[in-house]
Chain A
C-alpha cells in the first residue's frame, strides 16, 4: 500500500521583508499559517509548488511544509515549522509579536 500523503502548505520567505509567508487558495501570500491553503493531494501540491516557485520577485526559498489539518487551519507537524510560524523563543519578536 502506498504511504499516505502528509498534507502540506506552500511556504517561503518574503523577498523584501524576509519573513515567513504561506500561499493561500486564492494565490496570495499570507503571514498567517491558519489562512494557508492545505494541500491534501500530492500531484496538486507539486503543481502549486511549481507555480509558487516561479514568483521570484515576491518570495525566496519556496518549499512544501508538512502540516496536519485542524479546526483552526493547518498546524505544523514539526517543531521547525512551529518556530517559523511563531518567532524566536528568546524574544517576543517575529510573528508572535505581530499577532499581539
Chain B
C-alpha cells in the first residue's frame, strides 16, 4: 500500500503543528468559537451532542496492522476504549477532549494517518471498493487513482472553500460496491479496446434531495482524468448555490442546469486547464501504482479448509456468508462483521481492533479494509488459514456470519451521538437484529440490506437500502418512515416510501411485517427481497403494513 513520502510526512506534521497552536489559542481565549470552528472542522473535529467527535480519515478504506493498532491505542488512551467505523470508510471517536486532540493527531501521524478534510466544504476522504485489489471481478485496482485524487485534493488551493462538501468514490469493478452513483463524482474504471479508462458520473447524492449520478463522460483516459475532475469541481465551484445550503451540492447544480449544459461547461473549462497538467501527475500515478502492487500470494493445500467446511457447521455458515471470491487461486476475501446481533453497527473495541490487526499481520499480507457497510475486511487470506482465523474471531465476538443479511445493518450514529439527528438509529438497528436472530429466519430471508438514517441527511444511506428507515421528529416524538426498493449497486435506485411513518415501538414489528410480506410473495427461496419487490411492486407491502392497521383499528372500534 501507499507509504508517505517526505513531503506527505512534513505536510501532515506542519498541519498538526498549526492546529495545536489553534487549539491553544482557542483555550486561552485568543480565538472565538466562530473563528475556531472552521479550523477545527478542517481537522475533522466536531462538537456533537455529548462530546467532541474526531473523524479520522481512512483513505479508500485501506489500513495496515500498525495503523489499526494505533487506532486501538488512541481509543484506549484518549477515548472510551472503542471506535466507530462509518459509512464513509472512516473511524470516529465519540469522546475525545479538546486538549487531547493535538496529541491524538500526532499519534495518527506516527502511522501515516490524519483527520484532514474529513469535514468542512472541501473534497472529503476519497472512498473506494473495499475489495479493491483483491476482487475477482475487478478490472483494475481503484486505490491508485483514489490516492492520486487524495493527493490532488488535499489542501488544493482552489477547493478549500467550496459551496458545500464534495465526495468522490471509485470502483474498479463493474459490480459497484462503492455506491459511486450516490457521490458528487463517481468514477468507474472501464476497459475499452484494451485501454483502461474511466467512466465519470456526476451529481449523485443522498440526503434531503436524493439523486442518482448521471454519466458526464463515458470514457476519460488515464492521463486526462485529473484535469477532467478538476474541471468538474471548478465549474461547480463557480456555479454552486452558495446562497442556499440546501441547494449547494453539485447534484442540485446538475439538476438545475441539466447534464448537457454542465458537460459543455466542463469541456470548456477542461480545454482551458488541460495544458497545466504536464505529466507530473502521471509520474506520480506510476509511483503510486507500484505501491499498490499485489502481495506475493502463496500456494498452499486446501485440505484444512475443506475439512473444517465439511465438519464444522458454524465455520461453514461463516464461510458461506462472509467470504468473497478472490482473484488469486486458493485465496478468499474475508469480511469481519461488526454487526453482532444486538451490538452497535460499526463499533469495535480496542481489543477487537488489535485482534483484527494481528490476524491481518499473521494471515492477511498486513492489509485491512473498512467497508462503507461498516464492517472490516481481510482482503487477502489463504483459505487454508481460514479455520484458524475464524477460531480467533469467535473468541472476540467477531465471527458473526451475517454479511449481506438482515442484521448486517448500516446505521448512522443518530441521536445517540449526532447533533444533527432528529431521531435515534442505533437502537432500531439493535432491535431489528435481535428480533430476527430470535426468529431464526435470517438465513431463510437471505440477502437483504437494511439501512437506517437518523435524519434527512442520510448518512445511513437509507434511500438505497432494500429496506430504508428514516428517523424523524414528528411533533416531539421519534417517528420512522420506511422506504422499499432502494439499491446501492451499479443498478442504483432510490427507495419508495411505503406511507405514514411508525413510532419507535412500532417500527420493528413493521419491518417484520414487510419481511413476512416478502416471504409470502417470493416465487422461491432463490428470489431475493429486491427482486420480489421489483416483480410485485409496492402494493402487497403497503397492504401488509397499513391494511392490517386499518383492520385493527376497526376491530378496536
Contact = CB atoms under 8 A, between A and B. Distances in A.
B3 interface: no
Nearest to A59: B33
A16 B99 contact: yes
A93 B80 contact: yes
A20 B51 CA distance: 8
B541 interface: no
Contacts of B416: 83, 88-90
A17 B95 CA distance: 9
B430 A90 contact: yes
Contacts of B388: none
A24 interface: no
B477 A84 contact: no
Given A16-B99, A78-B476, A93-B95, A84 B430 contact: no
A18 B415 contact: no
Nearest to A62: B33
B483 to A, nearest CB: 23
B386 to A, nearest CB: 31
B33 A18 contact: no
B350 to A, nearest CB: 14
Contact of B50 (A16, A60, A79, A87): A87
A61 B420 CA distance: 13
A90 B426 contact: yes
Nearest to B29: A57
B116 to A, nearest CB: 21
A27 B179 CA distance: 51
Nearest to A86: B50
B52 interface: yes
B424 interface: yes
Nearest to B345: A90
Contact of B29 (A19, A20, A56): A56
A91 B342 CA distance: 12
A69 interface: no
A46 to B, nearest CB: 20
Interface string B419-451: 000001011001000000000000000000000
Contacts of A25: none
A57 B30 CA distance: 9
A78 B49 CA distance: 14
B50 A19 contact: yes
B518 to A, nearest CB: 28
Interface in B231-290: none
B346 to A, nearest CB: 11
A64 B94 CA distance: 24
In the A-B complex, list the 5 residue pairs whose CB atoms are closest, starting with the nearest: A88-B416, A18-B52, A18-B51, A57-B29, A94-B50
17 contacts: A16-B27, A17-B97, A18-B50, A18-B51, A18-B52, A18-B97, A19-B51, A57-B27, A57-B29, A60-B33, A79-B415, A83-B424, A88-B50, A89-B426, A90-B344, A90-B427, A94-B51
